[in-house]
Amino acid sequence: MTESAQDKLIGALRKAISRISLLAEGNDPEVDSVIRQIRQNITKGADADKIQAMLSAAEPHLLNSEETHLNRAKQVRETLHDLIDLLEVNHKKRLPSSEKKALESLIRLHWQSPPSWPYLFSSYLALAKTTLSLETTEESSKQSLIKRLFHRTKKQQDTQNSQEIMAQISHTLSSLLTNLSLSHEYDEQIIALREVLANSNDLQQLPDLLDEVINLIIISTGKTQEGLTNYLNELNQQLASMNTSIVSHYKSQKTLIENRDGLNVKLEKQVSDTNLATQSATDLNELKELIDTRMKAMTTTMVDYKQQMMLLEKETHQSIISLKSKVDQMEKEASSMRTKLQEKLAQAMTDALTNLPNRAAYQDSILPLVQSSKKSGKKLFLAVCDIDHFKQVNDTWGHQAGDKVLRLVTRQLLNSLSNKDMIFRYGGEEFVALFVNSNEQEAIHKAETIRAAVESAPFNVNGAPITITISIGMACHRVTEDHDSLFERADKQLYIAKQAGRNIVKVDQTKE
């Protein structure tokens, strides 16, 4: 590799670092400051040790910024799911199935992309308007699992008025506003909107309030896009500066080549002059002196040429070693970042309280399992599990006791299932179990094992023993249905189990 090629490669690596650094800017002032220093030093041609030291100093800030972004995205995702659930809780309005599925699909695809957030909330607004415009329909006997996500009492499970629903939606939107990254100039607007949300009890006001929230989300993401534009302009300036440096380096290389060619020309001329001089010499002494002078001149020329080549070879060797070291370091950092990214993705798919795969993980898992079941003909059973009277535990002994119950149930679930089975915390006190390649008898046995394990688990609060039970509804996948239909049939059986007295397993026996 020539020195010119090495320098171009180093320049490309420097440019790559500058471009990659843009991904970290615009969210944290400390990160922005470090990133700007790095780019300034790259532009000035700082040595590798100085740049490496700055990159090492920036890494903790970058990781913290990444975690903040991920948490904000997860909050947006959960807010959207909560809003869908709350809208569905209103039993007097039936959500259009196709629109709901389309929105949930959009959320799965775009929840980590801030520029997509306004569109996601606009899509929810369209769903809300469609739902609220429908005529009141008779309540279906089939109750959705999602309707129990907010821990209603028995009376509330039969009916919940619009004021209660709107209050919960307002609370969810208020939490989202707190999570938005906006400058202080919007503080008064946010406070005013939160006050309106706190005092609003009419579902018909929801579309207008959502419009206000969407506008603030657009502003929040717009600030990021504006910042990105500024960073790209700054990058263009830096690239122009780097291009100037490359041109200057090219000219230096060209001069070196010209000097090398000059040495060859000079040597050829000395040989030619020596040849002519020997032909014109008149005596032996004169010829000897002439040859001696010419040979010394050629020797000096060759020594100079050899020294220049040795210096160039040494510089090239050092440059290759330095470049290899930089590439090795970048490979190590890339490997480390890949590992950390995989850890962050795993965290996004894991419920923090129970360490079980969460609702997002369920959505990613169920579709390929259903498709595999259709192709292979192997049975797939889905069981929806709901802790009985969980709200009473929270209301009576507090949320810490409720968290303890959730962890206890999780432990019993894991102990009752085989390695091929899958369990998810779907939300609140609900869990979803998937029994892969199991016949009906095996699936029922597994569900009964879960139920019995939870019932027999020792649990006490302040020394007082409390019996925890779980109701389970289960269905087997049909070749002609999608995963949502499978879930709905299992969910209906859960509702039947609740109505039948709880702490039992109900299996869908309807024919296709």
- Per residue of the chain (512 residues), what is the pLDDT tens digit? 555 666 666 666 666 665 555 555 555 666 667 777 776 776 666 666 776 777 677 667 666 666 677 777 777 787 787 777 777 665 445 677 777 878 887 887 777 777 777 778 778 777 777 776 664 444 443 444 434 444 444 444 433 456 666 776 777 777 777 666 666 777 777 788 878 877 777 766 766 777 777 777 766 655 544 554 554 555 455 445 545 545 555 555 565 666 667 666 776 676 667 666 666 666 667 667 777 776 777 777 777 767 776 776 666 566 556 556 655 665 666 566 567 666 666 666 888 889 899 888 898 889 899 999 998 889 999 999 999 998 888 888 888 888 899 999 999 999 999 889 999 998 889 999 999 999 999 999 999 999 999 999 988 877 788 899 999 999 999 988 998 899 999 999 999 999 999 999 999 988 76
Q: Which residues, 6+ apart, have CB-to-CB distance to 202 below 8 Å?
A: 162, 163, 166
HEC states along 52-71?
Answer: HHHHHHHHHHHHHHHHHHHH
Among 54, 48, 50, CA closest to 13? 48
Contact by Cβ (8 Å): 11, 245: yes
Six-digit token pair at 174? 């208020």
Predicted pLDDT of residue 122? 78
- Alpha carbon 82 to chain centroid distance? 20
Predicted pLDDT of residue 116? 78
Predicted pLDDT of residue 344? 63
Predicted pLDDT of residue 8? 62
* Contacts of the segment 6-9: beta carbons below 8 A, 24+ positions apart: 6/316, 6/319, 6/320, 6/323, 7/246, 7/249, 7/319, 8/246, 9/323
Contact by Cβ (8 Å): 168, 150: yes
Among 475, 482, 476, CA closest to 497? 475
Q: How many other CB atoms sit within 10 Å of the CB of residue 247? A: 10
Predicted pLDDT of residue 392? 86
Residue type at 469 in one-letter notation: T
* Contacts of the segment 160-166: beta carbons below 8 A, 24+ positions apart: 160/89, 160/90, 160/91, 162/90, 162/92, 162/201, 162/202, 162/203, 163/201, 163/202, 165/86, 165/87, 165/89, 165/90, 165/203, 166/200, 166/201, 166/202, 166/203, 166/205, 166/206
Contact by Cβ (8 Å): 417, 433: yes
Predicted pLDDT of residue 142? 40
Predicted pLDDT of residue 413? 94
Residue reference for tokens 């709107």: 166
